[in-house]
Structure 1
Amino acid sequence: MSAPMSVFEEMRREQKLCDALLNVAGTQFLVHKVVLCSCSPYFKALFTRWSSSDCHNFEIAHVSADIMKIIVNYAYTGVVHVTLENLLELFMVADRFNVSGISQACCQVMEQQLSPRSCIAVWWITKKYYYPQLRNNVFSFILKHFEEVVSCSEEFCHLSIEDLSSIIEKDQLNVKDEKFVFEVVIRWIEHAPQERNKHLATLLPKVRLALINPEHFTQCIQSHILLQNNCATKAILRKTIQLMLDARTRGSNISLLPTYLAQPRLPCAVLVAVGGWSGNSPTNSIEAYDNRANRWVGVANSDETPRAYHGSVFLNGSVYLIGGLDGTTPFSTTHKYDLVNHTWQEVAPMHSRRCYVSVSLLDGFIYAMGGYNGELRLDTAEKYSPEANKWTVIGCMNELRSDASSTSFNGKIYICGGFNGEQCLSTAECYDPLTNQWTIIADMGSRRSGLSIIAYANEIYAIGGISGMARLNTVEAYNPSTNTWRAMPSMRNSRSNFGIEVVEDRLYAVGGYNGFAPMRRVESFDAQTRVWSEVRHMDVPRSALSCSLVFDLPNMADYAAPHSAPPEDNPTED
């Protein structure tokens, strides 16, 4: 509170020089006109334009005394306490009186309290009251959490045709399978079929029907009773079938077809592959994998030094590259790529040079473990604080490890396998940051160097690598609760020194070395079906790369497959 306002507040409490009396629901508020004028154009107009200067008594209708007290206190102190109990009434009254400070405080609370259950109701509020930033943020929340919103929001079935249409037409709609969008449309129509059947022809073209599994499309969609009785939707179904046949005949990715019905949604996260060994030297190539489109997208990158056998993590909108080598010299450097501004920055270096390094992220810190410094295999480890821009040495591992792999799970770092200078390792250990101690855990079933490990489906998967005698396609999973490993389905391809990430509940093995050359091949594993499947290959063959999962970027479209403009009102026409 400024000094002049504190004086006014003291005078109000002592009822000195007050020149207005507000009568609100049986309660009276003695105030100074000039103070209320300073925070509210409504009161400025009331005191100066809608009444004479000698008028001192004012009836304020349709406001509770409790809310008026909050507004008066805010006028004098600049402080407002918004609670869930007073939020809605306070927001409406603050809007009526044009008290922008309180309105913005209410908007912040509404945004902080957004949930799948409440977001549609808040969205409706923003249609009545003009707060475009809140409206846009709420709409983005609905798109991002659409599956949860549909499952738990009581208001969903009461959306207007315009509201539902504006949601499901967006590329930003976050759905794993387009059949869910179709089911949403049917559910909305069946809530009031007599008045909503006519909207099928408007809504159905906004579903990316050609991306639905052809078998499911034939069995569950093409034969749906609501669609069979609608002439307009039959034309859409015929076009979808033709698109599916065209893609199968050409043997092409259906998402490449130039039609809205086959246009993938924007991914909520992309897998970014950085650097690696390609041909006879390291590369600085960066590619992003859009799993919704099953396509790799090249990322413009002219500034970064080619590197391989490095580590990477994504944190706060940037990918950090740690260590590695340029073909001859191991690095101690840390480079940061800002994915929003497309800029590189070199930050604090590590204490040691490390190629064949293992890197993980835990609780906002980046951990770098083991590796090779050009002379020795290392058992040392260190962690980086982005806020302090500083690396700090932590406890040493129990073994020398280069070409190992690490991951974080349930507050600890796990590292497995690697090479100690004499043999490939089957040993594994975990680090507890609370004690700064490494603890030996159960050995893997196989010796593995150049492996990849990752937390997936509540276990830690150890995949591929080289045993010292053969390159591996085998997979095993560790259960920290029982300290045991179990065999899992093998990959389709043997590989070592490859990238790994989890995108939307699927595990991806990216590139690597097959014993003859760096690979372009990528495959994914579904823990529910326990099946490995080939997906779109990278454009650049590479081993010794590093992968990160990138998410929550305002410019996610920069790293996704190209998208066309929204459809016309009648997208059944080519």
Structure 2
Amino acid sequence: MLSEVPLDGAVGCIGRPNPPSTQDVEMKKVLSAQACQVLAELRKTGELCDAIIKVDDLSFPIHRNILSACSPYFRALFTNSRFDQNSQEICITGVSPDSMAAIIDYAYTRHVKLSWSNIEELLPAADRFLVSGLVKPCCEFLRKSINAENCIGIRNFAHSYSCRELEKHANNFILRKFQEVSATSQEFLNMHIDQLTEILDSDYLNVRNEEMVFDAVIRWIDHNPETRKQEIARLLNCIRLGIITTRTFIEKLSFIPHHKYLKKKCQKALNLIKTVSGIEWAADRESLLYLYRSLIRSKLDYGSVPNNYIRLFDIIISNNTSLKLYNCIYRDSVQCIELIQVFPCRCYVSVAELDGLIYAMGGFDGQLRLNSVERFNRKTNQWSFIPTMNHRRSDARATTMGGGIYICGGFNGQECLNTSEYFDPSTSQWTLISPMRNRRSGVGVIAYNGMIYALGGFNGITRMNTGERYCPTRKTWSTIPEMYSPRSNFAIEVIDDMIFVIGGFNGVTTIFNVECYDSKADEWYDAHDLSLYRSALSACVVRGLPNVLEFIHSDH
């Protein structure tokens, strides 16, 4: 009579086995390493070997079961009825002896020494013989070695052998470091036209301005002008010509030997630039959408993906009038839906959200600064007027706290303002609060730890690095430590219980500097800078976003 052995270690009880302990796992690793070492020694001495792989004039004694466990290719080879059990010799062509030796060593030891001297032969060999465990470290070696000079070659190499993650990483590197790649890489000059247009056409191309894209196109054509000048029309379709001035476009063409030919081919592009420069924004919607792609290139940062926010970028181009098209992105379905337009045209407007309603305050209609205010109800898709502010203002900034809206600073058409107001939706009334200590236009305003902070801005003379905060209880403003960089028209947000100020204009140039303020320490700290210079930008935090990867381009 057979006795039953308990599977869980308890006498008389049959059940699931207990999970292996850490000690058991470590023991298995040691035994596995020892087994690999013993098997490798047996192969080197030729003991118990049951097959020979011959490459050129070199022979490699092996154990068929070891290679079969490592590679489906060799398993199929050794179990095939055509395999000669008597000679036990396999001749393999199309691979170097060094690569075959490395594959066999990996099958026995699970280790391989990678270098630039063997990687270009070893990865194709590992792919051919289906040694997936070796393909991965080869791809990782190349991923860590990517730079501006070799990224295009690595991308093409990865594509040839279906290394999708490596190809994606290399492609992201090209997009992210395009300025450096296009200026220094010999591989860039040898790119095929199809690859180049794919890169230039990407909305994720990371360039500071569109002139850099134009310069890259000219550099690529100059490498072989007689052949490549025929491609100028195709390449121009990839450039956002609407944000290149006519003068810049013509000046750049005048410095290249074949500029006369290019000017002839670029006449359509010149017409587009002139059209954009003189466009009347009262044109119909179809015309506007036709020009949209030529006017804007998405500017998305690269790197790690945050857990709870999305950044939205927008552009307004005006020609003494303001554009009054409004769109929003519905976060779950990634759809842009058109909202009904506001009543007056507004640019340099202040916007805030309170209790699910969007408020548009003040701004500039092309002739006057406004004090009118509108409120948008998403449920009804309607804007409605609410009482006007006490002061006309554009370039102000608004925030919400305690169930109300605070708006500070701005410009009234004659001078920068230090006035501030508070809107109470329960009474539908605007109330002036204590004026700020400084006049501030292009100011950053945000609610933080029960206070209203007003930072930076332009006072009519210079950009400022000063800041102050308003206490609703005491109804007074008090100064805080100065920022490191003076700035106006910057983005401001609260993340991790600190105020972050991002980019802006310092009075001389657009900046990429980022710094953060901790109210507990009452101190400013440097934060990681932007990769691009940005001014007149905004930032927001959207918590619990389920599909952030669909909005942010990353290396993951």
Tell me which interval the TM-score lies in, with the shorter structure as reference length: 0.5 to 0.7
Paired position in structure 1 for 2:503: 502
The residue number in structure 2 matching 1:462 is: 465
1:501 maps to amino acid: I
Q: Which residue does 1:241 correspond to in 2?
A: 274
- One of 160, 174, 184 as aligned partner of 1:152: 184
| Amino acid in the other structure paired with 1:17 | L
Residue 166 (structure 2) aligns with = 134
1:29 paired with 2:60, answer: yes
1:44 aligns with 2:75: yes
Instruction: Give 1:12-411 correspondences, 5 Å limit.
Output: 13-14=41-42, 15-24=46-55, 26-49=57-80, 51-217=83-249, 219-220=251-252, 226=258, 228-230=260-262, 231-246=264-279, 257-259=289-291, 261-269=293-301, 288-290=311-313, 298=328, 327=402
- The one-letter amino acid paired with 2:184 is C
Q: How well do the aligned residues superpose, as a CA RMSD in angstroms?
A: 5.4
Q: For residues 164 and 6 of structure 1, do their structure 2 counterparts lie closer, same or farther at Cα, with a shift above 3 Å needed?
A: same
Work out whether residues 38 and 44 of structure 1, in 8 Å CA contact, stay in contact via their aligned partners in 2. yes
- Taking the aligned partners of 1:536 and 1:84, their CA distance within structure 2 comes to 44
User: Residue type of the partner of 1:38?
Assistant: A
Deviations 1:416-443 (A, max 9, x none): xx9999xx9xxxxxxxxxxxxxxxxxxx
Worse-superposed segment, 117-126 or 259-268: 259-268
For residue 556 of structure 1, the aligned residue among 548, 551, 555 is: 551
Please name the residue that 2:348 is paired with. Answer: none
Name the SS for the 2:52 alignment partner.
strand
* AA aligned opposite 1:502: G
What is the distance in 2 between the residues matched to 1:496 and 1:54?
76
1:42/1:300 CA distance change after superposition, 3 Å = closer
User: Helix, strand or coil for the counterpart of 2:298?
Assistant: coil
CA contact (8 A) 2:467 2:483 kept: no
Is the 2:310–2:548 Cα contact (8 Å) retained in structure 1? no
Once the 2 structures are TM-superposed, how far is the Cα of residue 225 of structure 1 from its aligned partner? 6.9
Shift of the 81–217 alpha-carbon distance from structure 1 to 2, 3 Å rule, reads: same
Counterpart CA distance in 2 for 1:496 and 1:120 is 37
Structure-2 change in CA distance of 1:237 and 1:58 (3 Å): same
Identity of aligned residues (%): 25
CA distance in 2, matches of 1:77, 1:298: 57
Structure with larger Rg:
2
Distance 1:160 1:496 in 2: 43
Does the Cα contact within 8 Å between 2:39 and 2:108 map onto a contact in 1? no
What secondary structure sits across from 1:164 in the alignment? Answer: helix
**What is the CA–CA distance in structure 2 between the aligned matches of 1:6 and 1:104, rounded to whole Å?**
23
CA distance in 2 between counterparts of 1:17 and 1:33 reads 10
> Does the CA contact (< 8 Å) of 2:182 and 2:216 recur in 1?
yes
Unaligned runs of 5+ in 2: 1-27, 303-308, 318-324, 333-352, 357-398, 404-446, 458-463, 515-529
Count of aligned positions: 369
Residues 478/252 of structure 1: CA separation in 2 closer, same or farther (3 Å cut): farther
User: Structure 1 unaligned runs (5+)?
Assistant: 271-285, 308-323, 329-417, 425-448, 455-460, 480-487, 510-525, 539-544, 559-574
CA distance in 1, matches of 2:122, 2:493: 61
| Structure 1 residue 290 displacement after superposition | 1.3
Give TM-score scaled by structure 1 length: 0.51
Q: Distance in 2 between matches of 1:470 and 1:228?
A: 66
Q: Taking CA–CA contacts closer than 8 Å with sequence separation of 6 or more, which of the two structures ends up with the larger relative contact order?
A: 1
- 2-side partners of 1:38 and 1:293: how far apart? 62
Relative to structure 1, is the Cα distance of residues 491 and 129 closer, same or farther in structure 2, using a 3 angstrom cutoff? closer
Change (3 A) 1:503 1:113: farther
Aligned-partner residue type, residue 108 of structure 1: E
Q: 129-138 vs 101-110, which deviates more?
A: 129-138
1:450 aligns with 453
Give the secondary-structure state (helix, strand or coil) at the position aligned to 2:465.
strand
Q: In the alignment, is the contact (CA less than 8 A) between 1:267 and 1:292 conserved in 2? A: no
Q: Is the 8 A contact 1:228 1:234 kept in 2?
A: no
Instruction: Measure, in 1, the Cα distance between the counterparts of 2:354 and 2:470.
Output: 31
Q: For residue 226 of structure 1, report the CA deviation from its aligned partner.
A: 4.4
CA deviation string 1:128-185 (max 9, x = no partner): 3222332233222211211111122121111111111111111111111111111111
Q: For residues 71 and 180 of structure 2, what CA distance do their matches in structure 1 show?
A: 39
* Change in CA separation of 1:109 and 1:246 when aligned onto 2, cut-off 3 Å: same
